Chains A and B, each alone.
Chain A
Amino acid sequence: MLTLIIRATIIYLLVLLVFRLMGKRQIGQMQPFELVLTLIIADLATIPMAEAAVPIMHGIVPLLTLVVVHYFLTIISMKNTAVSQFISGKPIIVVNPNGIDFKALQKLAITIDDLFESMRALGYFDLKEIQYAIMETNGALSILPKSAFSPVENRSLKLDVEESQIPISLVAGGKVMKENLEKTKLSLSDIEEIMKKADIESIKDVLILSINKTGNIYVQSKGQPYKTFDINYKGENLT
């Protein structure tokens, strides 16, 4: 049993390494060949884990080989468009200003129902709203709406709005994020002040406490609704 535990640990660490080397793509962003590769890796990893008679090398060698092949295939794809298109295919326009391109649907082997499902998922329920719909190589649908149905932008309304800010977490899960605290040039006493304002007694009770460049605080203690308020903070040090 100890052998299996050690083997499982080794394979787990190896699979972690393999996925780190493959990049950070999410399942939904994967190209079809990457999804297949992931399934193969999962299958390969289980063999030496479950059977003690099979050497662990029978799992390690194919796993590492796949990593190497995938690496070079990705490099070649990045440098050569033809290879990239051969491996991943190319985006195909399925809806154009004239309506649905039926030939494109046939080529992609998707039905009109599938197309409507993808459209609805993106918030488009009527074909009239769509100027172009493009089926991406990872199977996701991208839509360019007709100008009349495009969302209104602040720019169009000539509104002068402040740039969005990324809030910095100062406390998460009851623990002070010292690195972030240094970035904001705030101190523990400032945090205690904020907590007092939010009626929170102990740092351990804080689920999340964040601040943005304008000094807006978002704080929530465990089991309580969140509170938000402004403090006198200029945020020159926030990057």
Chain B
Amino acid sequence: MNNRFLYILVIIVLLAGVCVWEQVMAETYLSTMEEKVYDIIDVVEGKENINTEEIYELVEDMEKEWDSYELSFCFLVNYKDIEDIGIEITKMKIYIVENALTDFKASLAQILYFTDSYRQVMGIALDNIL
């Protein structure tokens, strides 16, 4: 086994590691985000006043979580491609203060849409390859 082959072997392992890391990270983080959105949807359901501490805390918790995920995603994805969720969360905090229920729900739907599209972009699929 020559040196060059060893280097190539290390590179292959490294590339495989990056691929697995990306898949696991995308699946875990995006699923967690979706769960958090559904939790908020459950809490908001049937309420007319969203300007409550409980909802604000849930959104803040989601923001903290997303910030940490975003840091990891930045290693693999263009930052500009994943900033939408952060923007929506910031908007949601304003909607809570203004009690804008429709806009708040729209933002939740947007986040679900973004998580779904990120998963599609990051996943290994023929349409992504082509």
Contacts and interface: CB of A to CB of B under 8 A. Distances in A.
Contact of B8 (A53, A57, A68): A68
Contacts of B38: none
Interface in B50-93: 74-80
B121 interface: no
Given A61-B18, A64-B14, A64-B15, A55 B74 contact: yes
A47 to B, nearest CB: 10
B11 A58 contact: no
Contact of A67 (B8, B74, B75, B77): B8
A43 B93 CA distance: 42
B15 A53 contact: no
A57 B79 CA distance: 12
Contacts of B77: 55
Interface in A73-107: none
A27 interface: no
Contacts of B78: 53-55, 58
Chain B facing A: main interface SS? helix
Nearest to B8: A71
Contact of A57 (B4, B7, B18, B80): B18
Contact of A65 (B15, B74, B79): B15
Interface residues of B, number: 15
A64 B18 CA distance: 12
A21 interface: yes
Contacts of A67: 8, 11
Given A64-B14, A65-B15, A55 B75 contact: yes
B11 A57 contact: no
A150 to B, nearest CB: 40
B76 to A, nearest CB: 5
Interface in A104-159: none
25 contacts: A21-B4, A21-B7, A21-B8, A53-B78, A53-B79, A54-B78, A55-B74, A55-B75, A55-B76, A55-B77, A55-B78, A55-B79, A57-B18, A61-B15, A61-B18, A64-B11, A64-B14, A64-B15, A65-B15, A67-B8, A67-B11, A68-B8, A68-B11, A68-B15, A71-B8
Interface of A: 21, 53-55, 57-58, 61, 64-65, 67-68, 71
Given A55-B75, A58-B78, A68-B8, 20 more contacts: A21-B4, A21-B8, A53-B78, A53-B79, A54-B78, A55-B74, A55-B76, A55-B77, A55-B79, A57-B18, A57-B75, A57-B76, A61-B15, A64-B14, A64-B15, A65-B15, A68-B11, A68-B12, A71-B4, A71-B8
Interface of B: 4, 7-8, 11-12, 14-15, 18, 74-80
